[in-house]
A and B are shown apart, each in its own frame.
Chain A
Amino acid sequence: MRLGLVIDLDVCVGCHACAIACKEWNASGTIGPLSDYQPYGAEPSGVWFNRIRHYEMDEYPNNKTVNFPMSCMHCEDADCVTVCPTGASYKRAEDGIVLIDQDKCMGCNYCSWACPYGARELDRSSGTMKKCTLCVDRIYDQELPVEERQPACVLTCPAHARMFGDFDDPDSAVSRTVRERGGFPLMPELNYNPTNTYLPPRRKPVIPVDTQPKSGLKESIKQFANKLVRR
């Protein structure tokens, strides 16, 4: 099994609900808490597994805002695991989830240097590195109804921009969607083979911007008068 997420950049509205749901679930999860520093102070900061950034693609009038959620990609060739000197970071053989043993981590930051996606953040209060667990404490929980055995971010997304599934199974919903929509990994040139896959924004008709008719003589006089009159 190779579990991971598909994130649809065409649909994501950038509401940060996935990040909030992630923090809510994982603050009391297996590697919680996720410490906040000065949450109500002048310089609020803290540990998050999931961060959403916002980009603009192309230039006016063809521009488009792309909201960009990012968490651990659970890479196939995860350098964060190979560089870890203590063996705290590990990749599970059975489902490919990359995790950190909080009892072994010495907080040297080396794994965060090796991660190109910024998925790992040091928790200053515990002195250990923390990262997305793919809600490993949810997805196998037999007490939950089957449809709720998914990561918190996927369940909460109001736009259904996130999907969770097995990428090793060619007929799983995630594999089919990636095939049909031309999903892509981030920074493939570094050869980390990230599992999480992003779906590109769809092509949309360009909204014409020159809709106003050419102004005639009457309009010109009006504009000239507007400049003269002091209101």
Chain B
Amino acid sequence: MHPAFSVIFFTVASGAGFGLFSLLFIADTFKLGGGFTPAQLVIGGLVAMSLIVFGLLSSTFHLANPKNAWRAFSRFRTSWLSREGVFAVVFMPLALVYLASVWFDAPLWLRETFGFLSAVLAWITVFSTGMIYACLKTIRQWNTPLVPANYLALGYASGSLLLLLGAVMAGLDTLPYIAMSALIVSIAAVLKAIYYFWIRSPGLTPTINTATGLTRAKVKLLDTGHTHGTFLTQEFGFQIARQKAGLLKVVVFGLGFALPGLMLVWVFNAQGGQAAAVVAACAGIAGAAVERWLFFAEARHVVNLYHGAQRC
């Protein structure tokens, strides 16, 4: 699959934003490390929401006819893309009510109810983002429950690293935030490792024989019938060399998981260390972006069988 920059930016930014927002709610409820002040909570919430909004805006850049984008909310009952949009939009007012109740010191039940609802909706929205890809039977590398699991884990990992940065900047006790980040980042790393292990041989897949129905003998492509590329070759023909993919997987683990982990140790030892927290957050998000690029680059759509691939 052709990796579109706008979609990569959208999924990474909105995943981090939703992760940050729901973890911010948890940090507020349990007053982790002493608890953020209302002003700090509101700033953190607005940072999360702007990540989400910029992500959603960037996702419209890959539309060829964006003037009809508003119609994307209409097929909630069948389409995961539509559901994702609806959930993201429903999240916004709930999150604003939560931040307002923090700012104006509203009764605790109001603050907790809306915080909880927006945290749940954040979870559902990131799950829907993953399901956009996981529901496609045409791409074996995506058609697995590991995909929404990876999207959630990586979104929350990026969010937890951003939250740790916030805690360091606010001068809170960093220990609970370090523990939370360490746990979420290691879960994300394990889930990603399982995914990479699984797509090495993803089980039964369509072949050129089932694609052409000529199942009794070897089939090979003689001619694709077009002179230059088509929409299909541009959209689905993208291929990445196995060696390069392996190298990028090392980058994903080094940049996305190992470096933030190392920085967590630094923050723990220094009892602060703002530079280390900045590096951890930036590395985590950059690693997630590389992971997302590879997620698209490694996906093999079955239409490639008609263009000569023996197996997808």
| Interface SS of chain A | loop
**Given contacts A112-B235, A187-B210, A83 and B63 within 8 Å (CB-CB):** no
A57→B214 contact, CB < 8 A? yes
Chain B neighbourhood of A105, CB < 8 A: 65, 68
Q: Which residues of chain A come closer than 8 Å to B204, judged between CB atoms?
A: 189
Q: How far is the CA of A201 from the CA of B65 in the complex (A)?
A: 42
Q: Which residues of A contact B65 (CB under 8 A)?
A: 105-107, 126-128
Task: Provide the residues of chain B in CB contact with A96, threshold 8 Å.
Answer: none
Q: Which listed residue (A113, A187, A198) contacts B301, Cβ 8 A?
A: A113
User: What is the CA–CA distance of A50 and B137 in the complex, to the nearest angstrom?
Assistant: 23
Contact A115 B71 (CB under 8 A): no
Report yes or no: B64 in contact with A85, Cβ–Cβ below 8 A: no
Instruction: Report whether A56 and B139 are in contact in the complex, using a CB–CB cutoff of 8 Å.
Output: no
Min CB–CB distance A128 → chain B (angstroms): 6
* With A107-B65, A116-B206, A124-B64 as contacts: A66 and B78 at CB distance below 8 Å: no
- The interface bits of chain B over 276-303 (1 if a CB of A lies within 8 angstroms of the residue's CB, else 0) are 0000000000000000000000000111
Residue from B62, B136, B211, B223 in contact with A108 in the complex, judged by beta carbons closer than 8 Å = B62
- Measured CB to CB, the residues of A under 8 A from B are 16, 38, 43-45, 47-48, 51-59, 62, 65-66, 68, 70, 79, 81-88, 103-110, 112-118, 121-122, 124, 126-128, 184-192, 198, 200-201
**Could you list 18 A-B pairs, sorted by A, with CB under 8 Å?**
A45-B229, A51-B230, A54-B221, A55-B212, A55-B220, A56-B219, A57-B214, A66-B214, A86-B72, A106-B63, A106-B72, A107-B66, A108-B64, A113-B136, A114-B137, A114-B138, A128-B65, A190-B137
Residues of B within 8 A of A (CB): 1, 62-69, 71-75, 78-82, 85, 132, 135-139, 204, 206, 210-214, 217-232, 235-236, 301-303, 306-307
